[in-house]
Chain A
């Protein structure tokens, strides 16, 4: 009778929350996603969200390419162009490549180290929600500039690098830059939280026997990336606070007229910005280092060299920031020092490329889609790295700085490198998390369209830069010889766009397919392939004990006298263990309870930011969300 009464009257807030939490624990329904703390689900949400932002950033890129396809382009006006290229850069760096890497960290790290979840599951959910809040906040700026249907955009317009004093109120009135600065601050919170989370997870949650030098290379690169995030994000956070003081409270950090120093911004931004470049590329290098051995059926060549070169890159990335500033007048000695450090960072990068080739050498190579993308990565990243070396020749860089040559260079690294690597990972691990393989035929089409499109887009940009076309121009006149190459680049960009459509189609068809991939479709080497696809909530029925690098491979194969792997006979250790995984009910495994508090806390950040922009009263509302969220989080019972 009491139950019926409860059913009729509206639920109190606490009852509703408790009910959603109960629903969340069942692993079904929308609430189970909203309140999830499962690293695999958070990884999926990261991936899908970042992919949607990838489409947005891609559409912005297509607008840029349409505008520049012909001389005197008039698709958008200079104001719109500046806002769109700013959002393209900001989106691709902070809302696409970083969170896509975070998606892979989330999906894979616990599985690869033999853990049931990350160290701080609710902090992990918090990272995701703050990232989503920051991404939406940043993009809402498009609608704040007036009537968007008349082409009045409100997005930031000073470039993703936001050089002061252009970003100060005097030169950038309106709220675009405020959205940009607050948006990056919010995203920084998300990155920091996830950086700490993965450092602690990797250092503390490894299965017994998994020493640091038995960790898969992707785990190593995640560790290095997480340390870079934790050290680099505070630098830009401080720079952004300085900028916000200047903009909101009449501070004088960057205002030259009042004794401020515009170049301070550049030092701060690039001190963050260059480690950031490696934050973007190291995860992709980790992915490639997993894919190559599997599809060559050989272990990674020179594992310690690859690990240490990754660590070396992480350290050296802090010593090259001023190579973004050769032309700002730092003086000969500084330019010489940073020129040499830029030359030196090519050494560990080269080591990785040679070791990858060494991995494939003597292997039994199968060119499935993940491998195609990994090989494409090596080819394109080599060009990106070598064009990077040309930047270390400082006097010659006085010519190439701020031209399309630089645009070509970093797209080689970030698209031909990072994005190719991430697609390699997507094709490789898709079956692990969905139970379905992506279709090979569509995958091949995707790769070749994208590979050719990529080269048609970005190689002409090198020529454009050497022919003297500056970056960030909303148009260029006739008679400079830029037209042909720009047209090529535009055609290539649409080929890339088509390839992305092929990918989306592939995902849909593959998910609908009835063919099951099985636990280990690629004959994998690392622990994630030892559990079912998709993995159960608890990942490992029994926490594995690790005996070697590439432990799962060694469960399946033993090496004979000639160092050739021989499959372990039926009924061997591997199958016995697999049988053990199948058997029994694992409902009693303790898993972290779902929680909605991270989401509530995350909502506080955009509200506080809106408060600074529009009405200080909103700051109080945002702070209340944050505090209530954090208190609820702290006081929440561990299990319910």
Chain B
């Protein structure tokens, strides 16, 4: 009799314990997994102001959301345990049809919580949505199937040609930028929709044919940052990659001079042909 009771209890609790485990595991994975991995496109290990603001906002929403999730989950498990049917002979419970005050409360309370989310959201939208500052370094990003090209409209050589880095199929194009300076990006597409994304520096912006989009970002420390196209654009979408090389202003200027000189050396050859 006792054995039977114990085993039936065990059987009754096992699903709940599994559910706890699953919950704890998913929580642990979510909280622990993201921060500890310094992978090349991790949105949590940021090196630019835009990405940092976005990371901050994500946590601003994620932590309350996690709290709500844990509370709802815990409430559910508590209810399932406390109000489980102990025997089939158990009389039916009191028939409660609702409680208007309580229901109004749980309609209105989340609304306040959600308004709290709206405040930094709107603030962020306006900040990121502004046009790039006048002193920003302008870059044109050109997307096409399946490569990226970059053009610096303000950095011109002796003949007035802007510095341009053309992508080659199957290769990763590099975008050089100076650190601690705002980069104003203008995006254009030669064919289908692409999306320009360098997770450690900033969230993405779509590259739409016939529609010029702008965004701004910066890098706060030197380094090489991986990025890729994130709008499905056909066969080789997966390998449409790019790299941002952020360097000190001196290094960047040296790189620009070098590129312009190389372009000048090449130009006559193509020009006479």
With A327-B195, A327-B203, A360-B80 known to touch, is A263 a contact of B106 (CB < 8 Å)? no
Beyond A392-B61, A468-B40, A557-B92, 16 additional pairs, beta carbon < 8 A:
A78-B237, A163-B231, A163-B232, A305-B107, A331-B129, A364-B83, A393-B61, A395-B128, A400-B43, A459-B29, A460-B29, A466-B44, A470-B230, A475-B238, A475-B239, A481-B42
Residue interface mask B21-45, A partner, CB < 8 A = 1: 0110110011001100101111110
User: Residue-by-residue, is B53-76 near A (CB-CB < 8 Å gives 1, otherwise 0)?
Assistant: 111011011100110110011011
A399, B96: Cβ atoms closer than 8 Å? no
A602 to B228, CA, bound (A): 45
Residues of B within 8 A of A400 (CB): 43, 58
Contact B34 A463 (CB under 8 A): yes
State how many angstroms separate the Cβ of A509 from the closest Cβ of chain B.
Answer: 21
Q: In the assembly, what is the distance between CA of A392 and CA of B60, in Å?
A: 12
Residue among A354, A375, A474 with most chain B CB within 10 A:
A354
Q: Which residues from chain B sit less than 8 Å from chain A, CB to CB? A: 15, 18-19, 22-23, 25-26, 29-30, 33-34, 37, 39-44, 51, 53-55, 57-58, 60-62, 65-66, 68-69, 72-73, 75-76, 79-80, 83-85, 90-100, 102-103, 106-107, 110-111, 114-115, 117-118, 120-122, 124-130, 145, 191-193, 195, 197, 199, 202-206, 208-211, 213-214, 226, 228-239
Q: Are B232 and A78 in contact (CB under 8 A)?
A: no
Which among A110-118, A131-139, A295-303 touches the partner chain?
A295-303
Q: Which residues of A contact B115 (CB under 8 A)?
A: 343
Question: In the bound complex, how far is the Cα of B25 from the Cα of A365, in angstroms?
Answer: 26
**Which one of B80, B94, B208 lies within 8 Å of A563 (CB-CB)?**
B94
Interface: A614 (CB within 8 A): no
A468 to chain B, nearest CB (A): 3
Q: How far is the CB of B74 from chain A (nearest CB, A)?
A: 11
Chain B residue nearest in CB terms to A366: B85
A329→B207 CA distance, assembly (Å)? 9
Nearest CB to that of A466 among chain B residues? B34
Q: Contact between A78 and B209 (Cβ–Cβ < 8 Å)? A: no
- 8 Å CB contact of B41 from A459, A467, A475: A467
Interface segment out of the listed A44-52, A194-202, A243-251, A333-341: A333-341
Judging by beta carbons under 8 Å apart, are A301 and B96 in contact?
yes
Which 6 residue pairs are nearest across A and B when measured between Cβ atoms? A398-B203, A468-B41, A256-B210, A332-B129, A481-B39, A395-B124
Asked if A611 is at the interface (CB within 8 A of a chain B CB), the reply is no
Interface of A is mostly: helix
Q: Are B53 and A459 in contact (CB under 8 A)?
A: no
A473/B237 in contact, CB under 8 A: yes
A55 contacts chain B at the CB level, 8 A cutoff:
no
Check A361–B34 contact: CB distance below 8 A: no
Contact (Cβ within 8 A) A375 B110: no
Once the chains bind, are B93 and A357 in contact (CB under 8 Å)? no
Contacts of B94 in A (CB 8 A): 362, 562-564
CA distance A354 to B76 in the complex (A): 10
A235 to B156, CA, bound (A): 48
Interface residues of A in 317-347 (CB under 8 A from B): 327-329, 331-332, 335-336, 339-340, 343-344, 346-347
